[in-house]
Amino acid sequence: MQEKLNNIYKSASEDIEKAQSGADLDEIKLKYLSRKGELNSIKKGIKDLSVEEKKVVGSLANEISNKLENALSAKYKEFYQKELDAKLEKEKIDITLPGKYIPRGKEHPLTSTTEEIVKIFRTLGFSQIPTADAPEVETEYFNFDMLNVPKDHPARDVQDTFYTKIAPFTVLRSQTSNAQIRTMEKMKPPIRIIAPGRVYRNETLNARKNNFFHQIEGLYVDKGVTFGDLKGVLNEFIRSYFGAARPTRYRSSFFPFTEPSVEIDVQCIMCEGKGCRTCSGTGWLEVLGAGMVDVNVLKGVGIDPDVYTGFAFGVGVERLAMLKYAINDIRLFFNDDKRFLEQF
């Protein structure tokens, strides 16, 4: 019996030594150490032995089964470690490699400037109308007629305005002032609104002029609104937008839909008023047009000019952004140059 046990030990040890994988080990375990395995069938015979033999054979059997168990688990560990090493080797990542550059989009400077301007007028009590309430493709009625622009006014000329073939008398709006009429036809005073949007003009391009740009229209109509209110609101806007004081001037002007009318210039930041290409040598950039709403406009929309007065303004978004960030050419906003856009 002892010999049998020793033989089992020998052949089991050899098998373990030769095993190639965990699966081989499983088989060996089954063959020698399981309930129906070779070792156990010997152990079953022990009960028929004499007391002396029982002791000797029993302890040998236990010793062998312990040794085999240990050898097996050492091998299991070895295989597990090998597998793990191979896996780690295969899935290794080099954390010293530089990361991949993933370019990110940013808000366009005109978007942020528009939002900034809108915010200032909000704090001054103006609310923004929905963009859809004053469309970019507009009829002459809203873009010109109701704004008191005479039929033969040069602004109506195809040289200045883009006419469309979508329908008769349809233009790409040349100003956000269509928002004035669209609002007053729907709303009764008090009215205090702003309307940001894109406008189109058939112009010769230069550093200050593009054939589309952005404006923010403002309109304030109520009892007793005066030119003093206009100045108060617009001065506060300019002060608030630029933060620090900037040389600014009011120039008397003319618009068919306001009387009296003004334009506000801000000193050119590129040349500090000395004159350069951006300001065409004048030292100033016009940033907005404004005035008291013309009596004819109020009458046209059925607001009694003897009871109500108002002022309107149209702010040039590009010009204001140029003056804040020292951008010397309006076309930079629109040619999608990442080197320009990434600076904001």
The residues binding ligand PHE (CB under 6 A) are: 175, 177, 255, 258, 261, 289-291, 312-314
Using CB atoms, what's the residue nearest to ligand PHE?
314
* Shortest distance, position 106 Cβ to ligand PHE, whole Å: 29
CA distance 113 to 276: 24
* Shortest distance, position 96 Cβ to ligand PHE, whole Å: 58
Q: Indicate the residue among 124 and 271 with the shorter CB distance to ligand PHE.
A: 124
Q: Indicate the residue among 40 and 280 with the shorter CB distance to ligand PHE.
A: 280
* Shortest distance, position 289 Cβ to ligand PHE, whole Å: 3
* Shortest distance, position 150 Cβ to ligand PHE, whole Å: 15
Cα torsion 292, 293, 295, 296: sign: positive
Q: Indicate the residue among 45 and 154 with the shorter CB distance to ligand PHE.
A: 154
Q: Indicate the residue among 65 and 161 with the shorter CB distance to ligand PHE.
A: 161
* Shortest distance, position 331 Cβ to ligand PHE, whole Å: 19
* Amino acid occupying residue 175: Q
Q: Indicate the residue among 9 and 220 with the shorter CB distance to ligand PHE.
A: 220
Q: Indicate the residue among 189 and 289 with the shorter CB distance to ligand PHE.
A: 289
* Shortest distance, position 151 Cβ to ligand PHE, whole Å: 18
* Shortest distance, position 221 Cβ to ligand PHE, whole Å: 12
* Shortest distance, position 200 Cβ to ligand PHE, whole Å: 11
CA distance 31 to 35: 9
Q: Indicate the residue among 28 and 290 with the shorter CB distance to ligand PHE.
A: 290
Q: Indicate the residue among 177 and 267 with the shorter CB distance to ligand PHE.
A: 177
